[in-house]
């Protein structure tokens, strides 16, 4: 298969890996109440496992991304796939809350980090044309997770105890992810040793990793991603529990999560097409403003139909804007350090995601209401919007020097 065709295999592999990895990690909201009821562990304590997971993703993302720059994405995502399945199986055997928090939080989060940044960096290197669409399709795989893994987790935990259900998901992760990881290849522009390869151009050598990481563009990219993810992490994690507190049955509440995921998949494609047409920054800024408003709308939802409407709008928006960070990074930084740059962005995003689960759990345990969570999410969304407005792309000549894709994959 030629390079022009194989790049779509890379997209498909990234979508599948992202779907299963993110779906496995985000099965925890479905297990939240069953675990609490069976073990007596607090909602805040169990939610903290997710917070630890995002922290592990944060500190692992840049390291995995940098490693993928050195050895290629294939070995990194394969190792992450094995670690994810193993750690979920071990979490199913946890006998104490602290053991569960460490295994599901630290190990699952670290394993998921090995998938996201390396695959996003890999895809941006395989595409010059249709880059935003390609990255969005990979991200769409993650959007499918609520429609696949979450309903599966709900069905399993309705027919089995939570330990059996979680172990089954671990086995599914291993069966799907390990073979898929073997399809991942390094972008041709980086795999080739010829002088024409992108990583050896004069523009590439002029921008060092240190200069890139100290640039205002990188700092703003990180800050925007942090507050963006802080906006949607709480609503994503606690919507199922919030809906149950409103009197909606668990299976129906999980369907709200699935509607959000389906809308997010559509948002990724639409925003990807818009990013290719109007530019990543312009579309990202508009999306961030809309995301903040969408988070606040959950305050007014109490019936199932209202949850569906808000979840569809909110999922469409936050799902659509997330892939644009990788596109914005590729438009401004060299291909040879894409794993490091996108890993750094993912690190900031994961730190933002870490706020939602534990803060939302604390708000509910303290006030028996989730409304404060959605008001706080709105504030974070507006802050992300304001920070994104300050992003100034590198001068055109610098961007031209930094773009180093081979014409063979265009």
DSSP of 279-301: -HHHHHHHHHHHHHHHHHHGGG-
Give the tens place of pLDDT for each residue, 15-66. Answer: 999 999 988 888 888 888 888 888 888 877 888 888 788 788 888 888 998 8
- State the number of CA atoms in the 13 A half-sphere of 15 facing the CB: 19
Q: What average pLDDT does the segment 214-236 reach? A: 92
pLDDT above 90 for 261:
no
Report yes or no: 173 and 111 within 8 Å, Cβ to Cβ: no
Q: How far apart are CA 226 and CA 228, in angstroms?
A: 5
pLDDT above 60 for 90:
yes
Of residues 239 and 81, the one with the higher pLDDT is: 81
pLDDT above 50 for 383:
yes
> Which pLDDT value is given to residue 146?
64
Report yes or no: 90 and 122 within 8 Å, Cβ to Cβ: no
Report yes or no: 220 and 345 within 8 Å, Cβ to Cβ: no
> Which pLDDT value is given to residue 290?
96
Question: What is residue 322's DSSP assignment?
Answer: T
User: 104-108, 178-182, 234-238, 329-333 — which one is most confidently predicted on average?
Assistant: 178-182
Of residues 189 and 361, the one with the higher pLDDT is: 361
pLDDT above 90 for 366:
no
Q: How far apart are CA 42 and CA 132, in angstroms?
A: 41
> Which residues, in sequence order, are CB contacts of 286 under 8 Å at separation 6+?
none
Q: How far apart are CA 150 and CA 113, in angstroms?
A: 20
| Token output for 22 | 């993110």
Proportion of the chain above pLDDT 70, given as a percent? 91
pLDDT above 50 for 408:
no
- pLDDT-derived band at 194, boundaries 50, 70, 90: very low
pLDDT above 90 for 285:
yes
pLDDT above 60 for 400:
no
> Which pLDDT value is given to residue 174?
95
Report yes or no: 78 and 28 within 8 Å, Cβ to Cβ: no
Q: Which long-range contacts (CB under 8 A, 24 or more apart) does 223-226 make?
A: 223/348, 223/387, 224/284, 224/288, 224/325, 224/384, 224/387, 224/388, 224/391, 225/325, 225/345, 225/346, 225/348, 225/349, 225/352, 226/348, 226/349, 226/351, 226/352, 226/384
Q: What average pLDDT does the segment 330-345 reach? A: 86
Domain boundaries, the chain: 3-186+206-388
The superfamily in CATH containing domain 3-186+206-388 is MFS general substrate transporter like domains (1.20.1250.20)
Closest CA to 121 of 231, 176, 199: 199
Q: How far apart are CA 341 and CA 120, in angstroms?
A: 11
Q: How far apart are CA 396 and CA 112, in angstroms?
A: 35
Q: How far apart are CA 335 and CA 318, in angstroms?
A: 26
Q: Which long-range contacts (CB under 8 A, 24 or more apart) does 150-155 make?
A: 150/23, 150/26, 150/27, 150/29, 150/30, 150/254, 150/257, 150/258, 150/261, 151/254, 151/255, 151/258, 153/27, 153/30, 153/31, 154/30, 154/250, 154/251, 154/254
pLDDT above 90 for 173:
yes
> Which pLDDT value is given to residue 405?
42
> Which pLDDT value is given to residue 191?
62
């Amino acid at each position: 298969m030629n390079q022009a065709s194989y790049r779509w295999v890379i997209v498909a592999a990234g979508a599948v890996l992202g779907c299963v990895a993110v779906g496995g990690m985000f099965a925890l909201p479905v297990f939240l109440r069953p675990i609490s009821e069976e073990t007596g562990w607090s909602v805040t304590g169990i939610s903290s496992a997710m917070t630890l997971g995002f922290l592990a993703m944060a500190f692992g993302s840049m390291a995995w991304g940098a490693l993928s720059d050195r050895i290629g994405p294939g070995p990194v995502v394969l190792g992450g796939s094995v670690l994810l399945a193993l750690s979920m199986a071990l979490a199913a055997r946890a006998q104490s809350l602290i053991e569960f928090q460490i295994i599901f939080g630290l190990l699952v989060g670290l394993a998921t980090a090995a998938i996201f940044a390396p695959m996003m960096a890999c895809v941006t290197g395989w595409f010059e044309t249709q880059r935003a669409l390609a990255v969005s399709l990979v991200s769409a795989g993650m959007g499918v997770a609520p429609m696949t893994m979450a309903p599966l987790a709900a069905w399993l935990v309705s027919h089995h105890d939570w330990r059996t259900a979680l172990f089954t998901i671990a086995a599914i992760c291993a069966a799907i992810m390990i073979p898929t990881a073997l399809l991942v290849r390094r972008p041709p522009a980086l795999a080739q040793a010829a002088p024409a390869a992108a990583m050896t151009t004069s523009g590439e050598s002029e921008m060092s990793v240190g200069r890139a990481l100290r640039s205002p563009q990188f700092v703003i990219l990180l800050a925007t991603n942090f507050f963006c993810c802080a906006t949607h992490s709480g609503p994503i994690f606690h919507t199922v529990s919030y809906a149950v507190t409103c009197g909606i049955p668990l299976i129906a509440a999980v369907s709200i999560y699935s509607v959000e995921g389906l809308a997010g998949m559509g948002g990724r494609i639409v925003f990807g097409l818009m990013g290719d047409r109007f530019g990543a920054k312009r579309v990202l800024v508009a999306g961030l403003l809309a995301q903040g408003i969408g988070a606040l709308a959950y305050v007014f939802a109490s019936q199932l139909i209202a949850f569906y409407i808000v979840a569809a709008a909110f999922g469409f928006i936050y799902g659509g804007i997330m892939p644009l960070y990788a596109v914005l990074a590729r438009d401004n930084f060299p291909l040879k350090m894409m794993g490091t740059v996108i890993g750094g962005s993912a690190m900031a995003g994961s730190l933002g995601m870490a706020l939602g689960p534990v803060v939302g759990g604390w708000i509910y345990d303290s006030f028996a209401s989730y409304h404060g969570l959605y008001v706080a999410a709105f504030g974070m969304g507006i802050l992300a919007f304001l920070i994104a407005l300050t992003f100034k792309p590198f001068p055109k000549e610098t961007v031209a020097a930094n773009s180093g894709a081979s014409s063979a994959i265009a």
